[in-house]
Amino acid sequence: MAESGIITLDPAIFYPSAEIIEFDLKEFLFMGLILKEKEFREALKNLDIQPYNGKIVAVHCSTDAIIPVWAYMLVSSLLSPVASVVMMGNKKEATRQFISSTIAMLNGADYQDKRVVIKGCGELDIPADAYLSLTNKLRPYAKSIMYGEPCSTVPVFKRKD
- Asked if residue 85 has pLDDT above 50, the reply is yes
Q: Are 91 and 58 in contact (CB under 8 A)?
A: yes
For the chain, give every domain's residue range.
2-14+107-158, 20-83
| Count of CA atoms in the C-beta half-sphere (13 A) of 29 | 18
Q: What is the pLDDT of residue 32?
A: 84
For the ranges 10-19, 128-137, 144-153, which has the lowest average pLDDT? Answer: 144-153
Q: What is the tens place of the pLDDT at every residue in 105-133?
A: 999 999 999 999 999 888 888 999 999 99
